[in-house]
Structures are given as C-alpha cells and as structure tokens.
C-alpha cells in the first residue's frame, strides 16, 4: 500500500498501519500489507496509476486527487457547499454513492473505500481581517481544487502548494493566506505563528472523506470472507478516525485560541451567499463535462436536497439551540 502522505502522518498514516495490521491479523497472515509513505515506493500522486496497473495493490489518499483522471472523483471526497461528512457516508452507503463510485473506479481497475471524515474544514488562515468580498480581490491565497476555482472567480490570486511549502510561503509573504484542514492538522504546521485570523466554517470542503483503493483484480481474487473482513475494517476505520479528528480538533482549537492568541472569525452571510452561488456554478460546469460525472452529480445533488431538509431541522437547529445562553454544567 502506497500512501499519498508520510507513513507516520498523525491520524491518516496511523490509520493505514492499523488497517494493514487488522487485515493481517484477521486473515492469520494470509494477507500481509506493507505500508509505504509517499515517495518511498512511488511519488504520492502516482499511487493511483501504480494500483491501477497492479504494480502495487493498494493506495491511501483522497479521491479528488484523481480528478485529472476523471472529474467525477471529486464527488467521492467532497465539493464546495456539498454534503457534510455524516451526510456523505449516508449517500455512499445508502444513497447510491458506492455503486457509482464502483462504476467509476472499475474503469481504472480499482475498487474504492471511504475512510475518515476530517470534519467541516476551516476557511483558512489570513494575515488580516476579511470583512467583505472586495477584501479578497488580489489576495494571494492557497486553496487547491474546485474550491480554489470559486475563489479565482472572486478575483483571488489562487495558488496551490503542497503542505510542506505553505509555512515558508506564508513567512516570506509569497502568499497572504492558506487553508489546510482543521485545528489539529493546521497546528502541526504552525500557520498560527504568521497568520492570526482563522476563519470558519470553510465553504470549500464540508465533507472531506479520505479513501483507500485496491487493485480490482486483486479484490476480485479474494475470498468472500476476506472481502467482508476488509470492508469491515474500512468501515471501522471511518468511525474511529472521524471521531479522532473531532476530539483532537476541539483540543487543538482551544489551545490555538487560549495559548497562541488566534482570532476566530467567520465570513459574512453576504460572502457565504456568493461563495454558495459560485460553488454551484463551478460544480455544474464540472458536471456538464461528461455523462458519468453528470450522473454522479445528479445523484449527489438529489441526495443533498433531502439532506439539507433533514439537517436544517435536526442537527442545524439543535446546534443553534445549544448555543443559547443557559447554564448547563
């Protein structure tokens, strides 16, 4: 298994090692999985081609990394103003998502599995306050993928940089700001030392769910029990590590605010509306490019409509009520 990040990456890298260990343990050593960090066996983003060709059996990453191979992969990670992670799992498991994903992956001789949700991603780190859409114009900001395209349409000078290059670029002033993941992961890179304004929620990656991929010929050659074991291990990892993100994020957030003087900010409703309108535009543009992407989009968008009706009165309404001023503890 080749990872798209270092093998010892907190959370994600350990998840790959745990998956490997459990599969080996459950099959009594019949299946042994050796975990390689990004670049150890193949470069990070070559793991897709390598697993597709059967040079390796598995990768761990995020499906939107493969959008150069097919645009539809974006929907199996997240899209701007799309589903939250909880809604995403519901779409994958019970809304037809996995079937579409299987159809897409089979074209590349792969079988994909959902991994953990990172939480609703943060809007990113800014050196100065952003109070209106105009404040974004000309800003040099790091945001990859189709979220970045939304910002580009708002006049942002969007750049994409790999993780390790973000901090130096912030420090030298090459960029004015950057998003990454969430409080836990962002803290490790020390962005708070340079950019003090931390915006949330982000609009661009509400449901980022990672993935594992297995060479399809390898997968098809396994026994029923082995396939069920692997499926179970994958589902378990999704549950376990999603909760790890939540627990570590909340601890990290408190530390950022209390110990590092980070200022939490939120975009205005006027900004969110424009982010929303342009997110829809970008997603629809992408969906119109080929028939399979269009079918995936239609399934996703249909599920999203129902998910919004439900989340609005359940989780959304509850979280709002819980914020009201009353003594509980």
For residue 177, how many C-alpha atoms fall within 13 Å in the half-sphere facing its CB?
25
32 contributes a contact to a second copy by CB under 8 A: no
Residues between 215 and 234 that touch a second copy (CB under 8 A): 225, 228-229, 231-234
User: CB–CB of 83/207 below 8 Å?
Assistant: yes
For residue 61 the two structure tokens come to 């990453």
Interacting residues with a second copy between 87 and 146 (CB under 8 A):
87, 89-95, 119-120, 122
The distance of closest approach from Cβ of residue 43 to a second copy in the complex, given in angstroms and rounded to an integer, is 31
Q: Which of 273, 285, 289, 290 binds a second copy (CB under 8 A)?
A: 273
**At closest approach, how far in Å is the CB of 148 from a second copy?**
18
- Closer residue to a second copy, CB minimum distance, 155 or 316: 316
**Tokens representing residue 92 in the block:** 């994958």
- Kindly tell me which of 52 and 178 has the beta carbon lying closer to a second copy: 178
Does residue 318 bind a second copy (CB under 8 A)? yes
Distances (CA, A) of 236 to 31, 59, 96: 18, 18, 20
Q: Is 266 in the site for a second copy (CB under 8 A)?
A: yes
Taking CB under 8 A as the rule, does residue 53 contact a second copy? no
Cis geometry, peptide bond prior to residue 168 (ω within 30 degrees of 0): no
Provide DSSP, 191-205. GGGT--EEE-S-SS-
Give the CB-side neighbour count of residue 261, counting CA atoms within 13 A.
4
- Shorter beta-carbon distance to a second copy: residue 164 or 324: 324
Among 26, 36, 167, 189, binds a second copy (CB under 8 A): 26
CB of 196 to a second copy, least distance (A): 16
Q: How many other CB atoms are found less than 10 A from the CB of residue 29?
A: 8
């Amino acid at each position: 298994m080749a990872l798209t990040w270092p093998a010892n990456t907190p959370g994600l890298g350990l998840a790959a090692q745990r998956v490997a260990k459990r599969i080996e343990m459950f099959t009594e050593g019949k299946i042994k999985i050796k975990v390689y960090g990004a670049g150890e066996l193949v470069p990070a983003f070559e793991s897709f081609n390598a697993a597709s060709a059967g040079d390796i059996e598995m990768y761990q990453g995020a499906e939107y990394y493969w959008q150069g191979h097919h645009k539809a992969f974006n929907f199996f990670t997240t899209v701007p103003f799309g589903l939250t992670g909880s809604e995403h799992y519901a779409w994958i498991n019970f809304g037809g998502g996995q079937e579409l994903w299987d159809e897409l992956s089979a074209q590349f001789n792969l079988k994909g599995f959902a991994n953990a949700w990172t939480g609703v991603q943060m809007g990113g780190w800014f050196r100065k306050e952003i109070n209106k859409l105009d404040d974004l114009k000309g800003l040099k900001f790091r945001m990859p993928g189709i979220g970045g395209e939304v910002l580009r349409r708002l006049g942002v000078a969007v750049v994409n940089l790999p993780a390790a290059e973000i901090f130096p670029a912030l420090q030298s002033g090459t960029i004015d700001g950057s998003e990454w993941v969430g409080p836990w992961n962002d803290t490790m890179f020390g962005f708070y030392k340079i950019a003090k304004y931390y915006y949330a929620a982000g609009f661009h990656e509400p449901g980022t769910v990672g993935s594992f991929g297995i060479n399809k010929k390898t997968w098809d050659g396994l026994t029923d029990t082995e396939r069920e074991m692997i499926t179970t291990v994958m589902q378990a990892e999704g549950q376990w590590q999603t909760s790890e993100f939540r627990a570590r994020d909340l601890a990290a957030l408190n530390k950022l605010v209390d110990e590092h003087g980070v200022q939490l900010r939120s975009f205005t409703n006027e900004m969110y509306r424009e982010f929303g309108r342009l997110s829809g535009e970008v997603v629809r543009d992408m969906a119109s490019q080929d028939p399979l992407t269009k079918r995936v989009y239609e399934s996703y968008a249909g599920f999203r409509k129902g998910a919004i009706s439900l989340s609005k009165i359940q989780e959304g309404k509850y979280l709002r009520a819980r914020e009201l001023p009353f003594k509980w503890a």
